[in-house]
Structure 1
Amino acid sequence: MEIKLHANATTTPRIRRYLQQSDKSDRELAAELGISVTTVRRWRHRDQISDRQTTPKVIHKAMRQEQIALVNGLRDVTGAPLDELLSLVNEGLGIRVSRATLNRYLKPVIAQRHGAPLQGKKALKAGHVPYLLEAHHLPLSLHMDDGGEHHLLWAREPLSGWCFARLYAGISAQLVSQWLEALLAACPADIQSVETYFSDALLVGVDQMLKARGISHKQNRHLHSALQVAVPLVLIIPRMKGDSASRLLSEIGESYNTGKAQKKLGEMTPQAFLETLRRGD
């Protein structure tokens, strides 16, 4: 029987079987075979000697229109490359699609007039630093099963893609100020400026709050139109079956910020990238 090994595999089927049958300690086996203790432990706790499948068990060849809009919006918010976006869609949202299927449904990124904005290591080499947060307000008209009117507040640091989002059933200037304070406390970058996409009524007191922190404020009057979702969220986001939208949103943001290293960030997560810059490493 021919077994195809993973490209980065450090063990053969014979070594894996030897690990499973040996009475030696993990450290002894690692030293003997020239592999890590983690690798030894991984194969000692498995019954099979073949690599596990990395593709989803159930792969959907087609997506709902609402799901297509969602994944494109998620890509625009995070700026995530395809592989990182696939992880967010499969694991974060529970939408089981293949890499090829996801890529097929992504809309082309429209480059800005002077080209796409630089990110990560390329941006640093060009002299850019992470000093800005873009903060947005998106009104949501959800299905009655999901509570009707809600408000999505989300922010992004454009150089790293680090993001922060929360979902609320109501909205007020006081809530926006509290959310901005939580955002600034969570962001690992040395933020000097905040650009908001909020109406005047929701920015009462924001200028004073930011000024007290030594942060400049620019109001962008290109506001987001309300988004209407005509079907229950559980039909769009399978993971909603066992979780609330608010908690799931927070988990997805945390997973993206700290979960998977990105090549454009020097093999670091957005969180680690910004923390490293702030420490001056």
Structure 2
Amino acid sequence: MGQVRHGSATTTHAVRAAIQRSQASLAQLSRELGINPKTVAKWRKRATVEDMKTGPSEPRSTVLTEAEEAAVVAFRRHTLLPLDDCLYALQPSIPHLTRSALHRCLQRHGISRLPDVEGDKPKRQKFKRYPIGFFHIDIAEVQTGEGKLFLFVGIDRTSKFAVAQLVATADRKTAWEFLQHLLEAVPYQVHTVLTDNVLCREELAA
């Protein structure tokens, strides 16, 4: 298979190898090969004839902030909901989130596909069936380069309708605000809310 060069390349692998083997001066090689002396110097310093990768070493979203991307990842891992369900639940908190941006984010973190729950795995225990409107609330920690955030997540055990909200602190005030947000966001009656989290449990009991 022939060499594939990027669009702005002025040398081939053979020319680069010749530069690295040659004892001639930069000026002489530049004249003989008809290329810029800086190009000759660049390839003489390198130990390979391959082009270096361009672009950021760690790809990041051009749409999402670091905190928003971390929230998306935490939500997906916490709920294991399909792509469109994640999008619907996260858009109120991240209005500029698009389906394509969400998909690329999940791909970057290796979670674009949900884990297989069938095959040779043991059968899961069947849980009690609940009527629609039975929500469970939890809090997931979101680690970013600037510190720790908290993602409140509420999900209906039957319909899988989910609501999420990213906050800087997790306390009784933000727990109460999320509970109000959940009740306003759900398009049907919420009759039961359960949680294993102490903060949320205190607000439900208040």
Greater RCO (CA < 8 Å, at least 6 residues apart): 1
More helix by share: 1
Q: TM range, normalised to the smaller chain? A: 0.3 to 0.5
Find the structure with the greater CA-based Rg.
2
